[in-house]
Amino acid sequence: MPHAVIAQDVSSVEVRAVVHAAMLSSTPVQVVSTGAAGIAGAHLELLRAPGTLAVGSVEFLRAAMLAAGVDEPAPMSYPVELKRSMGREIHQVTAGQARAGLDHWPWQPDGRGISPDLQQPQGVAPANPGDRRSAPGAFFVKPVATKLFTGFVFDPAAPAADLDEHDREQRQVFMDLPAGELVWVSPAVEFLCEWRIYVSAGAEIGRARYDADGEDDAPIPNSDEISAMINELSPVQPVALDVGVTSGGRTVLVEVNDAWAIGLYGKALTPARYTEFLFERWQKILSPAHNPAIAAGFADHPRATSPGFRAGKNSARM
Ligand SMILES: Nc1ncnc2c1ncn2[C@@H]1O[C@H](COP(=O)(O)OP(=O)(O)O)[C@@H](O)[C@H]1O
Ligand SMILES: [Mg+2]
């Protein structure tokens, strides 16, 4: 357990779990009530002290890293080691290129760029036939820098008015990005369910389903596939593997998330185990040598510069 906790003054599941675990072990908790900016003020000494864990949103922990003078770890998303487990081609392009549409590049609209078992099975109608998400020119887009916006299926031909509120907000942030900002693009995949697998010391420590809208009787992910992913990645630090079962029945990687500002779902971990998980990662982040080790394991792409979170909220988590 940490010696002390600095907690953002929000009542998220994550903050509540850590505060709960701290209380049970008589660990002092300092609540920062002045928002993300507040952490740079009165709490600097505590923040930098070895044994302190900071917990809160992406924005809060970003402010904590800035205040502590350490770099934000490079985003993970799609480690090269897991290429096979992605089942789809994933490319990095600029926001300007993506906004112009990807009809003929980097994959063809006939479905090349996606493995055959991820395509809609023959004769099976898409779950939602009128859905613009399966429109021919649509593709999935997400930022390379952590959480500039949440990934969504972008159809250059669709008027923003056709989208639900969440996708419309994400689309707006994406449309407003500088043309040179890097984004990931990939063919749109239909996930029947999504699960988060918490991994520490190279082994699974818990899992929970996290998609809110899926069917209750959706298939469960294939555990052999998950074990293979953990083995292929062999992470030397705590990570969360997000996996999904596609409409073709295959278990694939959705994305890999680093273990800071990481969401806690269901009963995947006890508050104490979740706190340990975060603390193991946070200690490395605060030690100045953390970045080279991560870059060696994960980066096959240029480091993203982070212009900051722009979706206007202070509650993002991974
Ligand atoms: N290729 C894809 N096609 C369609 N939907 C996708 C695709 N990849 C991810 N998604 C959906 O979008 C959500 C957000 O994507 P994710 O990669 O987790 O990005 P973020 O960093 O925003 O969490 C996922 O939880 C999943 O539901
Ligand atoms: Mg995600």
Per residue in 142-192, pLDDT tens? 999 888 899 999 988 888 888 889 889 999 999 999 999 999 999 888 999
Residue-wise pLDDT for 264-316, tens only, equals 999 999 999 999 999 999 999 998 666 443 333 333 333 333 433 333 456 78
Rg (CA), the chain: 20
> Residue 140 — very low, low, confident or very high, per pLDDT cuts 50/70/90?
very high
Whose alpha carbon is nearest atom 22 of ligand 1? 150
Which of 142, 166, 251 maximizes ligand 1 atoms within 8 Å of its Cβ, making it the mutation to test the pocket?
A: 142
The runs of H, that is alpha helices, within 41-126 are 44-48, 58-68, 83-86, 95-99
Q: Distance of alpha carbon 255 from its chain centroid, rounded?
A: 6
**Which pLDDT value is given to residue 156?**
86
The three-class DSSP label of residue 161 is helix
Ordered by where they begin, the domains of the chain are: 1-72+269-318 (3.40.50), 74-87+190-259 (3.30.470.20), 89-186 (no CATH)
Whose alpha carbon is nearest atom 17 of ligand 1? 255
Q: Which ligand neighbours the alpha carbon of 118 most closely?
A: 1
pTM of the model: 0.87
Average pLDDT over residues 247-265: 96
Residue-wise pLDDT for 90-124, tens only, equals 889 899 989 988 765 555 544 545 555 555 444 34
Q: Percent of the chain at pLDDT above 70?
A: 79
Give CA–CA dist 112/101, Å, rounded: 16
Pocket of ligand 1 (CB under 6 A): 88, 140, 142, 150-151, 153, 186, 188-189, 191, 194, 242, 254-255
| C-alpha torsion sign, points 304, 308, 312, 315 | positive
Whose alpha carbon is nearest atom 13 of ligand 1? 151
Give CA–CA dist 31/22, Å, rounded: 12
| CA-wise closest residue to 292 among 234, 232, 237 | 237
The letter for the amino acid at 228 is: A
**Which pLDDT value is given to residue 302?**
38
Give CA–CA dist 254/133, Å, rounded: 17
Whose alpha carbon is nearest atom 16 of ligand 1? 151
> Residue 125 — very low, low, confident or very high, per pLDDT cuts 50/70/90?
very low
